[in-house]
Amino acid sequence: MDEDGSRGVVSRQTVLVAASAVLGLMLSGCLTMAQKATERTQDARTARATGTPEPDLTNGAAEPVPIDRELWVDPQTPAARQVREWVAEGRTAEAELLRQIADRPVAEWIGDDPEERTRSITRSAARAGRMPVLVAYHIPHRDCGHHSAGGAVDAAAYREWIRRMAAGIGDRRAIVVLEPDAVAHAVDGCVPDDLRDERFALLNEAAATLAALPGTRVYLDAGHPAWIRDIRRLVRPLRHSGIAHADGFALNVANFQPTRVVEHYGRRLSRALGGKPFVIDTSRSGNGPATDEPGAERWCNPPGRKLGEPPTIRTGREKVDAYLWIKRPGESDGLCNGGPRAGEWWPEYALDLVGKAEA
């Protein structure tokens, strides 16, 4: 990812009705006492099955910070495995700090084998009565050859990849963040002119394919306020890329912009797109962007960052469908600021994020 890059939901929030068929696709709403009891039972069963106690995070507050009960927490993330390893080694203080990541829902980034991976994730989430957050990240010429270079070899391969991802999700519930950086890179000139129209067409088809799934919410990535500052430059590319098919757009993926700034930017973009809602990546926004790191180092594993708002699909904020941890806290941005390769687990960086977390 370059200096200006970023990486990589939510329910239509329909009111609950009595019909059980609707409950199967419900993404949010007011839970009855009976439903809350059922959910607590599911949590307990999941905890017993995985050997992981139900989280009770405080982030230093007098009362636990509520954990969203709709979003799926994978008990096998690198953070969760690290917690268990540190507990076994007697490093209990560090393990407790790291639970602030391990016990929260984070996105699952989908790469080379989309069908089996998405099927496994969505089935596990469905058994727990939860909804996973998935990131489709395989566009050709991904990340313009920078830290997260790769993706499909050509348009045909990408279309097949999206088809397989959709097949893996099926009719189960999921939130999909579609191709972080892809639109903004086309706008900022990183994508060559002769490939731009193809990229928009591929995104349009992908948005339509995934949005056609009955339980899937799709959010097309739109960068962040410090990247494409003039929202007018994004409107036409987003339309060409299928925003009409999508449920909304995503902002601040893998970046550090303060949530209030992102919300203001998102509402302006929403108005320009006819009122589309949006989701915000708050995984590392708690301290804002780095100002004392040179060049690209500001966006790649900058020190001194911290966790932002906990993931939730009940933000209470106009047009903001969710705060999500799309970038997985503690996983490297790339070979910069002492980090390992992009996507690799880096426990020291994770501790830096949680050690400075505030209530």
Active site residues: 143, 181, 333
Quote the CA–CA distance of 345 and 342 in Å, as a whole number.
9
Which tokens go with 119?
């099927």
Which tokens go with 289?
């962007």
Quote the CA–CA distance of 221 and 293 in Å, as a whole number.
26
Quote the CA–CA distance of 134 and 255 in Å, as a whole number.
17
Find out whether 337 and 295 touch, Cβ atoms under 8 Å: no
Quote the CA–CA distance of 297 and 228 in Å, as a whole number.
19
Greatest C-alpha distance within the chain? 57
- Cβ partners under 8 Å of residue 207, min gap 6: 178, 218, 220, 241, 242, 243, 245, 246
Question: In 3D, which of 251, 118, 75 has the Cα closest to residue 177?
Answer: 251
- Cβ partners under 8 Å of residue 89, min gap 6: none
3-state SS string over 149-217? CECCCCHHHHHHHHHHHHHHHCCCCEEEEECCCHHHHHHCCCCCHHHHHHHHHHHHHHHHHHHCCCCEE
Question: In 3D, which of 336, 331, 280, 334 has the Cα closest to residue 308?
Answer: 280
Question: In 3D, which of 218, 241, 223 has the Cα closest to residue 322?
Answer: 218
Element (H, E) at 44: helix 33-50
